[in-house]
């Protein structure tokens, strides 16, 4: 819910002309240029923040509070563990559109965009799924369950690779990082055809027996 509200606030300026007069004041809640809206749902009595992975029915508009703040960082992250990940939504090297018939293609392109930031050491799975992906303009990425389903599909296809990386703030709890499996033929084809962008690595065919066979023969 928090991610959906943040996405809606970011889109308000572009929809102002379509809004009825009675709703146009909502545009004032849109984040200023260069900033990112950060929505926090809170319990009314204690003002304690609702966790982002809590069930939707754990918060009620009748008794709860909505806190909206504006972060200078375009990729402000609620979880301090993952603040090192930056938003590259303004990258013009890869398009925001992807074949509508396969959301996994769009997810792969979105992750490729995120990986282009030279300041990133890695892309956090949690941040990418919950914060970055909803801002890419894909209709299927609005609902959290859809994002999770498409991500799982991409991982099962081996298009997206996962790994554990050290957490500098809490070494006992490593962070799950994800990356595009660029050498994979299907992924490389999407990146090249849809974006004119591909991996510098390009496998080539070499005549002769497989290297594994050569190694095994030499060991005998």
pLDDT tens per residue across all 220 residues of the chain: 777 788 788 888 888 888 888 988 888 888 887 777 878 888 876 778 777 667 777 778 888 888 888 876 433 333 333 333 333 333 444 444 444 468 999 999 999 988 887 776 788 899 899 988 988 888 888 888 899 999 999 999 999 999 988 876 777 888 899 999 999 988 988 888 765 554 444 555 566 666 666 656 665 5
Specify the pLDDT at position 210.
62
- Whose tokens are 């996405």? That residue is 7
Collapsing DSSP to helix, strand or coil, 69 comes out as strand
Collapsing DSSP to helix, strand or coil, 75 comes out as coil
Q: What is the pTM of this model?
A: 0.48
Sorted by where each starts, the structural domains of the chain and their CATH numbers stand as: 2-72 (no CATH), 82-195 (1.10.10)
Longest dimension (CA), the chain: 82
Specify the pLDDT at position 181.
93
Collapsing DSSP to helix, strand or coil, 8 comes out as helix
The Cβ of residue 116 has, within 10 Å, a number of other Cβ atoms equal to: 12
Q: Rounded distance, CA 96 to CA 86, Å?
A: 17
Question: Quick one: which of 111, 129, 88, 135 has its CA closest to 191?
Answer: 111
């Amino acid at each position: 819910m928090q991610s959906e509200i943040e996405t809606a606030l970011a889109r308000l300026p572009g929809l102002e002309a379509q809004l009825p007069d009675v709703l146009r004041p909502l545009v004032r809640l849109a984040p200023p240029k260069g900033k990112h809206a950060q929505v926090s749902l809170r319990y009314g009595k204690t003002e304690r923040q609702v966790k982002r992975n809590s069930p939707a029915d754990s918060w009620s508009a009748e008794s709860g509070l909505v806190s909206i703040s504006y972060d200078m960082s375009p990729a402000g992250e609620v979880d301090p563990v993952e603040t090192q990940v930056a938003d590259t939504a303004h990258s013009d090297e890869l398009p925001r559109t992807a074949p509508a018939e396969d959301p996994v293609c769009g997810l792969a392109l979105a992750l490729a965009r995120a990986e282009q930031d030279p300041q990133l050491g890695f892309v956090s799975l949690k941040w990418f799924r919950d914060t970055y992906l909803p801002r890419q303009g894909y209709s299927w990425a609005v609902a959290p369950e859809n994002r999770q389903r498409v991500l799982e599909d991409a991982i099962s296809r081996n298009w997206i690779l996962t790994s554990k990386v050290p957490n500098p703030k809490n070494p006992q709890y490593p962070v799950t990082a994800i990356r595009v499996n660029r050498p994979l033929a299907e992924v490389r084809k999407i990146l090249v055809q849809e974006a004119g962008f591909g991996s510098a690595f390009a496998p080539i065919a070499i005549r002769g027996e497989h290297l594994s066979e050569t190694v095994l023969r030499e060991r005998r």
